[in-house]
Chains A and B, each alone.
Chain A
């Protein structure tokens, strides 16, 4: 029987119905037989009649089993020739849209030499107000020497993912140091900053779970959310009332369906300092909401790590929030630490899961396309050891030298300059800002616009110039830059 089913999947349901009915029928007369004859008469099936019916049913089943199955997608009405014609006629879109002649692809700025405080952009020597080298560690000799020593010991590449001989002792050391620095139980490192939060989110948040996200969340958070396939609810940028409103709404919905609510995980995903706005997140309020509504908090600290707080531990230290109240902190090592890669830290309970995510996940479902793991960790080559060593040395410097603090009035070392009044369209705004950037670039201040993929961003931030202040810039340089930007704006906006 089973074998027949396998070959004729489409008749399966019919046969099941038939079996069910025949069982019911064979039972019914037997039951009836124990009762009165009259009942049998009202049913209208005599003993002979029942066996006749049984016979008919069996014949019917046989007919169903051997009848031709019908396909849902029947292509038989197309002849070979027609199929060929369709294939001949089909023209795909070009792989990439043709670039129009009037709008050629914008070329990148070319930086020759090291991208540190004094930077040469397109042949012009400038002071760097554009890259996220907040602590000036990119050009630090101690960091370079440490990296060099590591290079001489381990070579450059790791030639494998962490699981397959891609774990080096320096990786373990860096993880240990980061955990100690952040005062969390555990930390793990990723080989690519962008991939850190983007692969950490889907390791926890799955289909059916709910994630509350700030509208200004950066692109890698958006990608992580997309990969998680969870239910995503946006709240207005840094608006705690709006968040609470959504949380309340969710609470009401949960009361309607408490069974579902018991297995629906909830997360709030926020950034310490927002890449897209330069604003700081109101962490103490978030923690209050966390316990009130039982939602976990994931915090992305790529900009705030190494910048906020007395020791550079980020936004938790800045507000004096207990770091254990945050479920997961992720940050990249590409800004303050001036290396490459990223890390996640938190309690062992949370972190261990990422390392095992691969195995834990696949155990439930081996369907090839369902890949909801912390893939950035499991499947990618590990961080080159020399970059890990550089990050360790950078951490050393941060721990020793408390004087390394970002100067400037604003709390955020990266802030955005937007046009007060839009000129009408995004394109012309971008052009105006671009002229300001070029004006400054000609006068020895390197700036950059914040670039976005306009079609991909969920909530596209307005065009802006992102200015970055670092410890290396002197008072005079800051003054000069401020005046120059003012001057440029006056000249160009007039």
Chain B
């Protein structure tokens, strides 16, 4: 009751140590054999696992898969709703005062000439912006003026009119520890191999291309990147696009259309949702990472066919992400792959956050589970995060990529990727693959895994409610109450830590949270400083909601029942 462990349908711990999952109901070894990726037990698994816990061939989960979403305490939920209630009441009151010109209204207004036009926005549309968001607006869009590495510099800004406008004081807050950027492998750098390579290409090629791939903007650099990306992903071919968001929103419509069905996880990123909508296919949503829900939808879809006509669906496409950026959860890929095979659906995997950040050699969630990349029909990901660049890719069979080359909206209508950006990706990817002759990339991947485990465990020990998988470098920490969103962001910045806080539109209304992104560039000292500050602010704002006290035991056996034994 207290703990809501998300578990797939077929993976209850079977043997005594409760760590290794063997498959029940799934044919052993159908895709699970560790053929090409041998798990490096010593390197990847952190200290609290014993080697005996690691993979037995045939299991669809080769490593402990532990995700927790602790239930919101009732009192906190009630207080949170009350908080929103009070904010809304005051919002109405202030709107009333503004209407009678008692309070000054800062909203920009329509031109005199256009007063008679139909209003561009309805007044109530802005209620939330005006009355709730505006109070804590300073926690977002903080401008920085350095590399978004492990530490960055923030431009100091102040507001004299309650966040309606900001003034820059001209001062710079130096060396703020960056817990917000998606710099998982620490490739956001202004010196070193990658930056040097990018600099060279800037001088040679310039920064723009001024044409599309299909016309005359297909540079040799783009071809080079695509070959390398295909090799990196372990697929036949790959194609790169200029913007991660558009990779989803402009390629899904090329793959499915009317008469096709899209099954989409409820927490999928906006770009996937937009792409699905633009495609014209029917969209059905399954519960987050819930395999029963997905299977039911698949079964119903095939049995009943399309609504009204009952014609069979042309194709069924499952849209999932590797790591969900707001929950920190990892997709139950082995289950999904077996479902997809059983029901002959196609699988579109968005690895925006997981590529580079998961798996023993950074190949993403497919490698993390020891699966074959060919089991995923469309491997999508971005270069923005782990590679410290911009853009996105799609990998898959040669047929798929050839088709996209002629039918992708992006290839035909959008300007190609900037050459220095391409070069940054090539250089960082080579580094991860070890093609530069060093093990630096590999070390970064390991460092990230260690940092992630360390950081997550410490936060849990302090008594915060942390969402998501133990291996996910995205670490959401629950704040719940609206007032604490702004307070946490400000208090942390005051103590020189830059964090991301997320509130209602991006999360369910009561589940406001702070999100930390662990990076390989963080040193242990930085993480410790950050943890101490979080601890301090957590006490100040009373954020330690968790009712499961973890014993800070380093050699604690890896067993999820540790939690369940705890009483309230």
| C-alpha spacing A337/B206, complex, angstroms | 12
Q: A443 at interface (Cβ–Cβ under 8 A)? A: no
Asked if B302 and A75 make an inter-chain contact with CB atoms under 8 angstroms apart, the answer reads: no
Asked if A451 and B212 make an inter-chain contact with CB atoms under 8 angstroms apart, the answer reads: yes
Asked if A90 and B312 make an inter-chain contact with CB atoms under 8 angstroms apart, the answer reads: yes
| C-alpha spacing A147/B346, complex, angstroms | 42
Asked if B219 and A340 make an inter-chain contact with CB atoms under 8 angstroms apart, the answer reads: no
Which one of B214, B273, B274, B299 contacts A83 once the chains associate, using CB atoms below 8 Å? B299
A431 to chain B, nearest CB (A): 16
Please name all residues of chain B whose beta carbon is closer than 8 Å to the beta carbon of A347 when the two chains form the complex: 108, 111
Please name all residues of chain B whose beta carbon is closer than 8 Å to the beta carbon of A376 when the two chains form the complex: 245-246
B403-429 vs A, CB cutoff 8 Å, 1 = contact: the mask equals 111110110111101111100100000
The residue of chain A having its C-beta at the shortest distance from the C-beta of B423 within the complex is A156
Asked if A152 and B195 make an inter-chain contact with CB atoms under 8 angstroms apart, the answer reads: yes
- Docked complex: B192-230 residues within 8 A CB-CB of A: 194-195, 198-199, 202-220, 223
Q: Select the residue from A158, A193, A220, A348 with max chain B CB neighbours within 10 A.
A: A158
Given A95-B346, A167-B141, A371-B273, verify A156-B245 contact (CB < 8 Å): no
B386 to chain A, nearest CB (A): 9
Which one of A358, A375, A450 contacts B274 once the chains associate, using CB atoms below 8 Å? A375
Asked if A112 and B111 make an inter-chain contact with CB atoms under 8 angstroms apart, the answer reads: no
- Docked complex: B147-165 residues within 8 A CB-CB of A: 147-149, 152, 155
Asked if A130 and B220 make an inter-chain contact with CB atoms under 8 angstroms apart, the answer reads: no
Q: A105 at interface (Cβ–Cβ under 8 A)? A: yes
The number of residues on chain A lying at the interface, defined by a beta carbon within 8 Å of a beta carbon of chain B, is: 130
- Docked complex: B330-352 residues within 8 A CB-CB of A: 342-346
Q: Interface-forming stretch among A138-146, A310-318, A420-428?
A: A138-146
Q: A96 at interface (Cβ–Cβ under 8 A)? A: yes
Asked if B205 and A114 make an inter-chain contact with CB atoms under 8 angstroms apart, the answer reads: yes
Please name all residues of chain A whose beta carbon is closer than 8 Å to the beta carbon of B405 when the two chains form the complex: 105, 108
Q: B266 at interface (Cβ–Cβ under 8 A)? A: yes
Asked if B274 and A338 make an inter-chain contact with CB atoms under 8 angstroms apart, the answer reads: no
Which one of A93, A156, A220, A335 contacts B198 once the chains associate, using CB atoms below 8 Å? A156
Asked if B388 and A147 make an inter-chain contact with CB atoms under 8 angstroms apart, the answer reads: no
- Docked complex: B177-191 residues within 8 A CB-CB of A: 178, 180-183, 187-191
Q: A159 at interface (Cβ–Cβ under 8 A)? A: yes
| C-alpha spacing A114/B406, complex, angstroms | 24
Q: Interface-forming stretch among A29-37, A60-68, A383-391?
A: A383-391
Asked if B415 and A334 make an inter-chain contact with CB atoms under 8 angstroms apart, the answer reads: yes
| C-alpha spacing A386/B419, complex, angstroms | 12
How many A-B residue contacts, CB cutoff 8 Å? 399
Asked if B181 and A165 make an inter-chain contact with CB atoms under 8 angstroms apart, the answer reads: yes
Asked if B346 and A448 make an inter-chain contact with CB atoms under 8 angstroms apart, the answer reads: no
B103-125 vs A, CB cutoff 8 Å, 1 = contact: the mask equals 00000111101101111111011
Given A131-B211, A369-B283, verify A121-B216 contact (CB < 8 Å): yes
B236 to chain A, nearest CB (A): 13
The residue of chain A having its C-beta at the shortest distance from the C-beta of B400 within the complex is A96
Q: B504 at interface (Cβ–Cβ under 8 A)? A: yes
B258 to chain A, nearest CB (A): 12
Please name all residues of chain A whose beta carbon is closer than 8 Å to the beta carbon of B322 when the two chains form the complex: none
B21 to chain A, nearest CB (A): 26
The residue of chain B having its C-beta at the shortest distance from the C-beta of A384 within the complex is B390
Q: Interface-forming stretch among A3-11, A15-23, A359-367, A482-490?
A: A359-367
| C-alpha spacing A136/B107, complex, angstroms | 41
Asked if A375 and B245 make an inter-chain contact with CB atoms under 8 angstroms apart, the answer reads: yes
A259 to chain B, nearest CB (A): 12
Please name all residues of chain B whose beta carbon is closer than 8 Å to the beta carbon of A24 when the two chains form the complex: none
Please name all residues of chain B whose beta carbon is closer than 8 Å to the beta carbon of A151 when the two chains form the complex: 190, 195, 198-199, 202, 420
Please name all residues of chain B whose beta carbon is closer than 8 Å to the beta carbon of A93 when the two chains form the complex: 314-315
B3 to chain A, nearest CB (A): 26
Asked if B211 and A192 make an inter-chain contact with CB atoms under 8 angstroms apart, the answer reads: no
Q: B129 at interface (Cβ–Cβ under 8 A)? A: yes
Q: Interface-forming stretch among A230-238, A260-268, A397-405?
A: A260-268
Q: B255 at interface (Cβ–Cβ under 8 A)? A: yes
Please name all residues of chain B whose beta carbon is closer than 8 Å to the beta carbon of A380 when the two chains form the complex: 243-246, 271
| C-alpha spacing A359/B181, complex, angstroms | 21
The residue of chain B having its C-beta at the shortest distance from the C-beta of A202 within the complex is B274
| C-alpha spacing A78/B345, complex, angstroms | 22
Asked if B190 and A453 make an inter-chain contact with CB atoms under 8 angstroms apart, the answer reads: no
Asked if B304 and A75 make an inter-chain contact with CB atoms under 8 angstroms apart, the answer reads: yes
Q: A479 at interface (Cβ–Cβ under 8 A)? A: no
Q: Interface-forming stretch among B360-368, B377-385, B527-535?
A: B377-385
The residue of chain A having its C-beta at the shortest distance from the C-beta of B116 within the complex is A294
B74 to chain A, nearest CB (A): 19
| C-alpha spacing A452/B207, complex, angstroms | 25
Q: Select the residue from B142, B144, B155 with max chain A CB neighbours within 10 A.
A: B144
Please name all residues of chain B whose beta carbon is closer than 8 Å to the beta carbon of A195 when the two chains form the complex: 243, 245-246, 249
The residue of chain A having its C-beta at the shortest distance from the C-beta of B153 within the complex is A169
Please name all residues of chain A whose beta carbon is closer than 8 Å to the beta carbon of B498 when the two chains form the complex: 165
Which one of A78, A95, A294, A452 contacts B400 once the chains associate, using CB atoms below 8 Å? A95
| C-alpha spacing A412/B44, complex, angstroms | 59
Please name all residues of chain A whose beta carbon is closer than 8 Å to the beta carbon of B209 when the two chains form the complex: 115, 131, 138, 334, 340
A134-172 vs B, CB cutoff 8 Å, 1 = contact: the mask equals 000111100110011001111111111011111111011
- Docked complex: A428-452 residues within 8 A CB-CB of B: 446, 448-452
Q: A349 at interface (Cβ–Cβ under 8 A)? A: yes
Q: Select the residue from A167, A266, A446 with max chain B CB neighbours within 10 A.
A: A167
Q: B34 at interface (Cβ–Cβ under 8 A)? A: no
Asked if B217 and A152 make an inter-chain contact with CB atoms under 8 angstroms apart, the answer reads: no
Asked if A115 and B219 make an inter-chain contact with CB atoms under 8 angstroms apart, the answer reads: yes
Which one of A96, A155, A160, A348 contacts B147 once the chains associate, using CB atoms below 8 Å? A155
Given A156-B194, A192-B245, A223-B409, verify A446-B216 contact (CB < 8 Å): yes
| C-alpha spacing A347/B120, complex, angstroms | 12
Please name all residues of chain A whose beta carbon is closer than 8 Å to the beta carbon of B304 when the two chains form the complex: 73, 75
Q: A99 at interface (Cβ–Cβ under 8 A)? A: yes
Please name all residues of chain B whose beta carbon is closer than 8 Å to the beta carbon of A415 when the two chains form the complex: none
Q: B402 at interface (Cβ–Cβ under 8 A)? A: yes
| C-alpha spacing A338/B415, complex, angstroms | 10
Asked if B246 and A192 make an inter-chain contact with CB atoms under 8 angstroms apart, the answer reads: yes
Asked if A130 and B215 make an inter-chain contact with CB atoms under 8 angstroms apart, the answer reads: yes
Q: A352 at interface (Cβ–Cβ under 8 A)? A: yes
Given A294-B116, A386-B202, verify A159-B183 contact (CB < 8 Å): yes
B458-475 vs A, CB cutoff 8 Å, 1 = contact: the mask equals 000000000000000000
Q: A319 at interface (Cβ–Cβ under 8 A)? A: no
Asked if B424 and A156 make an inter-chain contact with CB atoms under 8 angstroms apart, the answer reads: yes
A96 to chain B, nearest CB (A): 4
Please name all residues of chain A whose beta carbon is closer than 8 Å to the beta carbon of B314 when the two chains form the complex: 92-93
14 A-B pairs (CB sep. < 8 Å): A90-B302, A98-B399, A113-B220, A138-B207, A152-B191, A169-B145, A191-B390, A194-B409, A261-B118, A294-B114, A294-B118, A296-B120, A340-B242, A378-B270
For the complex of A and B, 10 pairs with smallest distance between CB atoms: A363-B128, A362-B505, A380-B245, A192-B243, A96-B403, A194-B414, A338-B208, A131-B211, A349-B108, A108-B218
B residues contacting A by CB (< 8 A) are 108-111, 113-114, 116-122, 124-129, 132-133, 140-149, 152, 155, 178, 180-183, 187-191, 194-195, 198-199, 202-220, 223, 242-246, 249-250, 253, 255, 266, 269-271, 273-274, 277-278, 283, 285, 299-300, 302-304, 312-316, 342-346, 377-378, 382-385, 387-390, 399-400, 402-407, 409-410, 412-415, 417-421, 424, 498, 500, 504-506, 508-509
* A119-B216, A262-B118 known, 16 other contacts, Cβ within 8 Å: A83-B299, A111-B216, A115-B216, A155-B190, A156-B420, A261-B118, A265-B120, A339-B418, A359-B129, A362-B506, A366-B508, A376-B245, A380-B244, A380-B246, A381-B243, A381-B244
A residues contacting B by CB (< 8 A) are 73, 75, 78, 83, 86-87, 90-93, 95-99, 105-106, 108-116, 119, 121, 128, 130-133, 137-140, 143-144, 147-148, 151-160, 162-169, 171-172, 191-195, 204, 218-220, 223, 226-227, 261-266, 291, 294-296, 324, 332, 334-335, 337-340, 347-350, 352-353, 356, 358-364, 366, 368-369, 371, 373, 375-376, 378-381, 383-384, 386-387, 390, 446, 448-453, 456, 466
